[in-house]
Amino acid sequence: MKRFFHAILLLLLVAFSAPAAAADAGSLSGLWWNDEKSAQIEIYRTGDRYAGKIVFMKEPVYPGDDAMGMAGQTKIDRHNPDPRKRSQPLMGLQILDGFRQTGDRVWEDGHIYNPKNGKTYRCKMTLEKQDTLAVRGFIGISLLGRTATWTRVK
């Protein structure tokens, strides 16, 4: 009788965990490699919106041949339009904000910040496959932009 009870319990656990795993397959949350594979961005839910921040960089310090004379120092947001923010480290920097899910695999109404040039763009993200995210930054309308392909960190 005890084995029968354990078998039923195991079946119930498997049955209820399968839909949760399927729901995660279409989830935006998690760790993503940028298109250059130079950084990982953690995308997370905040209320009914999504945001993202840099949590890993392959090269978190400036190289020895840095023209700005910052060799060996932690990389900072030196192109930020706000002079008070130019000394903040890139590690931990929030680069995505305000995304809301508008379709089965689509998140819109957000912004993406590009620390390479200090500019913020409107952005739309589409989960093309379970581990492939199309991130489209644009000015004004989506036609005037660029799409980068991010891949989920395994």
Q: What is the pLDDT of residues 75-96, one digit of tens each?
A: 999 999 999 999 999 999 999 9
CA distances from 62 to 8, 27, 71, 76, 101 (A): 58, 34, 5, 9, 36
pLDDT at 68 (0 to 100) = 72
CATH 2.40.128.520 fits 26-152, yes or no: yes
N- to C-terminal Cα distance for the chain? 41
With contact defined as beta carbons under 8 Å apart, do 89 and 78 qualify? no
Say what the pTM is: 0.79
pLDDT at 14 (0 to 100) = 33
Flag whether pLDDT at 41 surpasses 70.
yes
Flag whether pLDDT at 26 surpasses 90.
no
* Six token digits for residue 84: 């008070």
With contact defined as beta carbons under 8 Å apart, do 130 and 26 qualify? yes
The pLDDT tens digits of the residues spanning 44-74 come to 999 999 999 999 999 999 887 767 777 889 9
